[in-house]
Structure 1
C-alpha cells in the first residue's frame, strides 16, 4: 500500500473518523494515485467513506437547492433506462458549474448514481417495494392547471431566458412547449411571462413574479406530499414485526 496515501487518510479524517469523499479526491490529486486506489486503501485500513459529493449519502443527501437546466442537458444523454448515471460522468458534468449544481440536478430529476469511483457501491439495491407519487392540480372541470411538466417548462425558461432554448434542453417540440405555456395562462387566467421578439439583447422570454410564485409553491407541495407518502408507506408497508 502507498504509505503517503495512508498517512494523508489518517491525518484528514472527519470528526466521525471517516474519510469525506471530497477529501479522498484531494488526496488522489495531491499524490497522483488513482481515486479508485485511494478508495481501496481506505477500505483496507478500515476507514469508511463519508459525505458523497454527489449527494448519495452523508450530509449532502438532505441538501436543498435548485437543479440546473444546463447540467441536466449535459447529463441527459448519459442517463440509462433505469435513470442512473455513472459517478465519473456526473463529476465530469460538474466542471465549470460545481458539484452543488450537479447534486441538486440529480436530486430534482431523481437520477441515481452508479459505480462510485471510490468503490463505495456499484449499483445500489433498492427496496422490494417503493412508493411513487404524482401531483397535479385541476380546475372544477377536470382540466389540468398545473403539474410537473408545466413546472419544468417554466423552470427551464427561467434559466435559459428563451422558449426555444428551453424546448431544446427538454428535448421537446417548440410548439408543445409553447402550448404548455398558453394552456397554463388560459386556465389560470393570469399573465405568467412576457416575450420580446427580435434578435436584440432584450429578446427572449421573462417570467413574471406570479410564475415564480406558482412554480415554487408547486415544488413545495410536491415535496411535502412525497415526504408524507414515504413516511406513511414505511409505517404501513415496511414496519418491522414486533
Structure 2
C-alpha cells in the first residue's frame, strides 16, 4: 500500500548570502548598498546624479557616505564645489580601494559558499 503522502522532489536548490563590513558597535561600514552608491558616484561624477540614478534622495546617499567616512575616519570622496562647470565628486584612493576589494571579497565569499553548499547539501544529502 502506497503512502498518501507523496515524496516531493525538491527543485534546484541554491544558496544566498549577504555580506557587509561592520564596526565594533555593529554600524555598517561597507556593504552592497554602499558599493552601489560609490559605483554610481564614480560613473555619474556627482552625488546628486548618483542619487537620481539609484532612485534615492540626495540626503540618503550623502548620509550613507558620511556614515562610512565617519566610521573609517577618512574621506571616500573628493568634492568639487559648483561653479561655471558645476560641482562634482570623485572617489578618493580609499574609495576606489573599498570598491575593488569589496567586489573581490564578494566573489571569494560566493565561490566558497557555493562550494560548501554543493558539498554539504547537494552531494552530501
TM-score relative to the length of structure 2:
0.85
Paired position in structure 2 for 1:165? 49
Q: CA RMSD in A?
A: 1.5
Paired position in structure 2 for 1:70? none
* 1:120-178 Cα deviation digits (max 9, x unpaired): xxxxxxx5321001010111111111111011100110011011111111111111011
Q: Provide closer, same or farther for how the CA distance between residues 235 and 192 of structure 1 changes in structure 2, counting only shifts above 3 A.
A: same
- 1:210 has 2:104 as partner: no
Q: Which runs of 4+ in 1 moved over 2 A?
A: 199-202
Distance 2:124 2:33 in 1: 37
Gaps of 5+ in 2: 1-10
Paired position in structure 2 for 1:191? 75
2:60 pairs with one of 176, 181, 185: 176
User: How far is the alpha carbon of 1:215 from its aligned partner?
Assistant: 1.1
Paired position in structure 1 for 2:123? 239
Report the count of equivalent residues.
115
2:23 pairs with one of 139, 151, 169: 139
User: How far is the alpha carbon of 1:187 from its aligned partner?
Assistant: 0.5
User: How far is the alpha carbon of 1:220 from its aligned partner?
Assistant: 0.5
Gaps of 5+ in 1: 1-126
Paired position in structure 1 for 2:6? none
- 1:155 has 2:45 as partner: no
Paired position in structure 1 for 2:12? 128
* 1:193-227 Cα deviation digits (max 9, x unpaired): 11112243262011111100011111100110001
Which structure ranks higher in relative contact order (CA pairs < 8 Å, sequence separation ≥ 6)? 2
Distance 1:213 1:231 in 2: 27
Distance 2:85 2:116 in 1: 50
TM-score relative to the length of structure 1:
0.45
